[in-house]
Structure 1
């Protein structure tokens, strides 16, 4: 069977699809993965055939701004930012993916298209070509405020294409759902044609930092993700709070934080630009993070308590779900102080009730179908 996978060119959007794509290739299917060229090296390392489609998210924002997109995003008001985000994810990215995927589909003639649900251009292109399609989630289905702007732009573009009806974000297609049902949106679980899939972390291969395996003191992992939402001052505040505890702190600064702006860090803090997160999580005792879907799902799977410091987008609803499930806590806005981070982290490291809830959720994840099992079901959806 010929399969085309497609996602936005972003770690948080592309990585969740890789386990199923690799499993499908292992099952003997002809697999192509279409996204912007910046992520082709990742796909090639995974042993997948990469094809060019779409723009990077940075390029999409650059098309809406004169000058440096990151600087313009920092200067824009909340209202201006919401409108631009709506256009980028509801028009600019889908429009380019529709154009590029249309050419690819004509050449490859796939039997099934599996599109990451943030990439609505994938389902629009498949619907235009009359090819069966399946959505693939990257976490909990969110109804954050920005989705209103995105949905408005998407609906307008869909109407221009002659596409109507279908629930968002699946557009009426089957949906590969990597979120455990107990923390997924109840409304979505009730109405969607869900195909559960165990969230399997994916990281570029690499060695774990020294001291991670067999550490003696509690190990706290701190990350604010890979997007420009990452804020050095929030990271610095969290470092100060965590360093006050009798723990070791491993910080993944990511590509968006100027490490020099953090200054000198305490002796029990280690800064790393990148870590193989999926390999790291089973070894840590607490994750302090921004609420990105990849980190949230990874912590669910690894059975690790979470302290969530959301910065934007679906991170707030992820933080809410973590708190509601009893597997962690959240700090919002001005409540993110060094003292608050210290106190919440101390409590989470010692709370047996949280530890019990974490184990229950990890067992739920372990009971979900594997990528290999789901790959075996894909022919049923053609």
Structure 2
């Protein structure tokens, strides 16, 4: 079962410790943003579990967080959605319909059904549930168990239209558990943690939502992981990092376009193609290009001068925290929204995949490296991120919420 343990974790021995259940959809982009907060609770001697799939449980365990199984891997979710649709899910959708299609169908319908039984089991007896935006079984499990919940955004909020549809999609499951369905699937009924700096704005959050900020902190380097040795021997010139993430990273043509476009430029191009991809697929490389499957961004970005990426929230926020200008070439999911938000804030340029020719990539990178205005805005965003409350401070505030529930539960136990 990978890094996921089937046994129920025991309650903490420390009198003041609380039990926290993190509920995550089964993808790196969902688990990784919550690891820093989870670690803050672990470092405070609380009893913490990450409830997710077997594959993602291994990722949590590598970060020192106990993992328990809640549903299947994303491949199972996808197979079920494919079965229900009778074809390739979302095939041919225009960009603005991607999230309104997938959030209710894949995450609210398929995902919540996959995770709810396991999550209810883990949440019973907990003091607090923290769920990611797309883990719709999280707020339901918390409601079933009568446990307070916190909503952990992964980046800019999804379109409200998609969340309304998700609420409709998960409503039958709420009724199955004899509960009245809540708007947006219960997501915004809880305190919402936003990890975006103010410069990105906060649209698409329901009016009246309770919000708190949390500094986004990269927690992607496992124990013993380090930079490749060749990084330290690179020529003294700007380092440009490129990634298309770990899921929407199959368009080799985008990598090749960057290689060709930057081949004659005075830069070091560092590419990570993802753990499941083969660097050899890029063919012969220019002398200024280095390719790996994976390098922890928390170790690499401090050495970089610009980033080319897919618009995943994790890479976007890590680049902002590093104060780096960005070129975003969105590949799917919420990446088009992230690209638009960053471009409107003057923090990134954007190329659609069909426009990502070698010359277009080259020209955008030249502008990024030369634009003092873009560098200034990136540095301002970095300062905003650093001013946000860190995970330890947020954990302490949430710990008080959990302790209140724990005390109430103890009183009820005594009353019995």
2:357 is aligned, of 321, 330, 337, to 337
Aligned to 1:321: 341
Aligned residues: 376
Shift of 1:93: 1.0
Query: How much is the aligned-residue C-alpha RMSD, in angstroms?
Result: 2.6
Gaps of 5+ in 1: none
Which whole-Å CA distance do the structure 2 matches of 1:256 and 1:86 have between them? 27
Deviation string for 1:178-204 (max 9, x for gaps)? 111221323539643112111001113
Deviation string for 1:12-34 (max 9, x for gaps)? 10011111111111112111111
Aligned to 1:210: 229
Q: TM-score, normalised by structure 1?
A: 0.90
Shift of 1:54: 1.5
Change (3 A) 1:73 1:255: farther
Structure 1 stretches of 4+ with a deviation exceeding 6 A read 79-82
1:380 is aligned, of 400, 409, 415, to 400
Shift of 1:310: 0.5
Aligned to 1:52: 69
2:93 is aligned, of 71, 75, 78, to 78
User: Quick check: 2:241–2:307 contact (8 Å CA) kept in 1?
Assistant: yes
1:112 is aligned, of 125, 128, 133, to 128
**Pairwise mapping of residues 1-382 of structure 1 onto structure 2 (< 5 A)?**
1-65=18-82, 73=88, 76-78=91-93, 86-106=104-124, 109-143=125-159, 150-158=166-174, 160-161=176-177, 162-166=179-183, 170-188=187-205, 191-205=208-222, 206-213=225-232, 215=234, 216-382=236-402
Which whole-Å CA distance do the structure 2 matches of 1:204 and 1:112 have between them? 27
User: Quick check: 1:301–1:366 contact (8 Å CA) kept in 2?
Assistant: yes
Equivalent residue of 1:186, what SS? Answer: coil
Deviation string for 1:234-281 (max 9, x for gaps)? 221122222232101000011354434321111111110010111111
Equivalent residue of 2:182, what SS? Answer: coil
Q: TM-score, normalised by structure 2?
A: 0.83
Change (3 A) 1:141 1:231: same
Gaps of 5+ in 2: 1-17, 403-416
